[in-house]
Amino acid sequence: MSSNTSTSTLIAPHGGRLIDRVEPSTTHADAMHQAETLPCLTLTARQLADLECLATGIYSPLEGFMDAGDYHSVLESMRLADGTLWPIPVVFDVDAQDLARIGAAAEIALVWAGHIVGTLQIAARYSADKAREARAVYGTEEPAHPGVSALRALGDVYLAGPVRLLEPSLHGSFDRYRYTPLRSRAEFIRRGWRRVAAFQTRNPIHRAHEYLQKVALEHVDGLFVHPLVGMTKSDDIPAELRIRSYEVILERYYPLEHTLLGVFPAAMRYAGPREALMHAIARQNYGCSHFIVGRDHAGVGGYYGTYDAQRIFEGLTSADLGITPLPFENAAYCPSCSQMATRKTCPHPETNWVQLSGSRVREMLRQGIRPPAEFTRPEVADLLMLQAGCLEG
C-alpha cells in the first residue's frame, strides 16, 4: 500500500510513492493471530533494520526484499529492474537450517527477542552471488572489509517478497527520536519547512560536523540531524553515546526552531559511494530536499577515495534522484585562521589543521587522552572520556 498524505509542500518520495507496510491497529489482532500459525524465523540485527526500513517507507519504493531480477539489476547498473535508481541490494538471507525449518511455506513469521514482529510473503527463492555482490557494492572481495565480512557470513539463499510490520515499536530505544517518513514529513509541514537538509553520521558530533551542518542551515528552512543507530562495527562508538552527544550539543549551540534530531534505524554497510546514494534516497523519503555529503561518506579503511561518495552523484538527473546533494570539502580547525576551515576557505597547509580520524579518536580514548577542544566541544569530550572510563563519575 502507499500513503497519500498531504505532503505537497515537500519533495516527492523516491519512485513517486511512500510505502507503508505497517499493519493498521484495526486489523492488528487478526494479523497477529494469523502470523502465529506460520513457520517462523528469528531475525538478525541487519534483517530487523531492513524490515523496519522497508515497512515504514524509508526504502520506498521497495515493498519487500528484492527478487532475483532486481538483485542482479542493482549489482549491474545500480537500478531496479524497472529502471529506478537503487544502489545496494536489500535481501533476506537464509541458510540450510532456515530452509529446512520453513519448508515450502509461502509466508513466514519474523521473530525478534522472542516475539513476532512481522511477516514475509515468499514470492521467490534464489541463490546469492556473493563474489559479484562484493565487487559491485563494496569494490572489493577482501574479507578485511567489514561489509564484505558481513556479506560472507550471510546465508547462501535469498528470499524475496513483500513484508508486513506488526510491531512498530521494535526496539524500545530512542523512541523520542524515531521518526518514520510519515511522521517526519508531518513534522516538517507543521514547522513550515519546505527545504530541509539531512545530515547522516555514525560518529559522535565534532566540530567539522557542526560546521557543515550550520553552513547548510544557512540555505534551507531546517536541519534534520539524523545519526544512524542500526548495526555498526563492534569498535564504533555505541549509539547511546552518539545520541547523547547530539542532545547535549543541540540544546546548547543550535537554534531548536530550525533543528530536528531523529534516528536512522538502518544497518551500516560501509559501502562508501553506493551507500551514500542509499542514504540520500532514504532522506528523500523522509521529506528532506538536501543531503550533506562530506568526505569519505560511509567509507572504511582506505577502500574508497576521499570524495568518491560525492562523485557518484555526478551525472544523475532529477528524474533519477529528487534530493539535492550538498558536497563539502574536508573541514577541520585551522590554528592560523583560528576557526573551522576547508581548502576553499583556508590558505594554510592541511598539515597544520587539527583533524582526527574516528579510529584515532578511539585510540586516544583507549589511552586516556582527551580529544582537543579544536576537534570536539568539551561537553562531547566529557561524554567520550566517561564512556572510556577516563573520568571519575
Grid cell digits, residue 190: 507543521
Check 21, 164, 185, 202 and give the catalytic one: 202
Residue 276 CA: distances (Å) to CA of 31, 123, 250, 293, 379: 36, 29, 24, 8, 29
| Residues 141/135, Cβ–Cβ less than 8 Å | yes
Residues in the chain: 393
Q: Cell 517526519 belongs to which residue?
A: 184
93 contact partners, CB below 8 Å, separation of at least 6 = 47, 128, 154, 155, 156, 157, 158, 159
**Phi then psi dihedrals of residue 117, to 5 deg:** -120, -10
Gap between the Cα atoms of 353 and 112, Å rounded: 46
Angle at 72 between CA 66 and CA 76, to 5 degrees: 130
Check 101, 183, 191, 203 and give the catalytic one: 203
Gap between the Cα atoms of 320 and 13, Å rounded: 12
Q: Cell 560518529 belongs to which residue?
A: 203
Angle at 351 between CA 347 and CA 354, to 5 degrees: 95
Gap between the Cα atoms of 93 and 98, Å rounded: 9
Gap between the Cα atoms of 32 and 249, Å rounded: 42
Residue in 341, 358, 383, 362 with CA at minimum distance from that of residue 252: 383
Question: Active-site residue 203, yes or no?
Answer: yes
| Residues 25/206, Cβ–Cβ less than 8 Å | no
Distance of CA 49 to the CA centre of its chain: 10
Question: Active-site residue 202, yes or no?
Answer: yes
Catalytic residue annotation? 202-203
